[in-house]
Amino acid sequence: MNKIRRNKVIKPDCLERNAEAWTNHYIKQRKSNNNYWNWHTDNYERVERILTPILSNISNFHCSYCGIYPLKQNVGGRSIDHFKPKSEFPELAFEWTNLFIACPDCQNIKGNNYPLEIEPLKPDSCHYHFDYWFEIDWTINKNYIIPNKDRNDTEKKIAQETINWLGLNKGDRPDVRYDELEKYKDSSVTDIWRWSYPYFLERG
């Protein structure tokens, strides 16, 4: 998970003006239809179309969770994720700091889940630094992201639950990250932000 600097941009004006009304509307509509959702329009433009490029900018066009790059610009290649799911936290449905750009894979893994016992690590939090919370297990054929062994038990639990929640070691993800690292090492393209998983490549 890369660090995201949300303060690169100011809060979008459409949310500044409308978030409260849209949130109240959403909470009201959900009472009769649990699946109700609408991004609304602002000045004749769909709000998700306004927010997507801004959220992509603050994540440097990487998935905010797994770090895959580049997020495809077409429909289905990237979408806005509610860090705290709107089904469980409807009051945060239009909260600027709850919105992140994410790849379809991460959206599927997250779904409407949210850890019950801990507050997971948030990539735009001022307390979030990869090296503080995580390390990489370079054991052959592993390359898993694991909690930093120097942290206390509570912090290790937060790190591990975040890894589980976002599926950061799920399926072939560790292998895919390692393949990217090998390609990066052989390439003349040294700008780490032109690659997937910068947080992983930087430490490889």
Minimum separation from the CB atom of position 99 to Zn ion (A) = 15
Name the one range near Zn ion by CB under 5 A: 5-13, 62-70, 79-87, 150-158.
Answer: 62-70
**Helix crossing, 13-32 with 47-58: angle to 10°?**
120
201 binds Zn ion (CB under 5 A): no
Closer Cβ to Zn ion, 55 or 103, answer by number = 103
Task: Identify any residues that bridge with 101 across adjacent strands, giving them in sequence order.
Answer: 80
* 186 exposure class (CB count in 10 Å sphere: 0-12, 13-18, 19+): exposed
Q: Which of 14, 63, 92, 163 binds Zn ion (CB under 5 A)?
A: 63
β pairing state of 79-82 and 99-102: antiparallel
Q: Cα(163)–Cα(166) distance, rounded to whole angstroms?
A: 5
Q: How does DSSP assign 16-44, residue by residue? A: HHHHHHHHHHHHHHHHH-TT-----EETT
User: Residue 152: left (phi > 0), alpha (psi -120 to 50), or beta?
Assistant: beta
Minimum separation from the CB atom of position 195 to Zn ion (A) = 14
Q: 120 with 94: CB under 8 angstroms?
A: no
Phi, psi of 165 (to 5 degrees): -60, -45
Minimum separation from the CB atom of position 22 to Zn ion (A) = 26
Name the one range near Zn ion by CB under 5 A: 32-40, 48-56, 87-95, 105-113.
Answer: 105-113
Minimum separation from the CB atom of position 71 to Zn ion (A) = 8
Minimum separation from the CB atom of position 108 to Zn ion (A) = 9
103 binds Zn ion (CB under 5 A): yes
Closer Cβ to Zn ion, 123 or 147, answer by number = 123
1 binds Zn ion (CB under 5 A): no
Q: Which of 51, 80, 99, 106 binds Zn ion (CB under 5 A)?
A: 106
Site string for Zn ion, 111-150 (x = CB under 5 A): ----------------------------------------
Minimum separation from the CB atom of position 65 to Zn ion (A) = 5
Tokens standing for 138? 């370079």
Q: Cα(162)–Cα(185) distance, rounded to whole angstroms?
A: 28
Contact positions toward Zn ion, by CB under 5 A?
63, 65-66, 103, 106
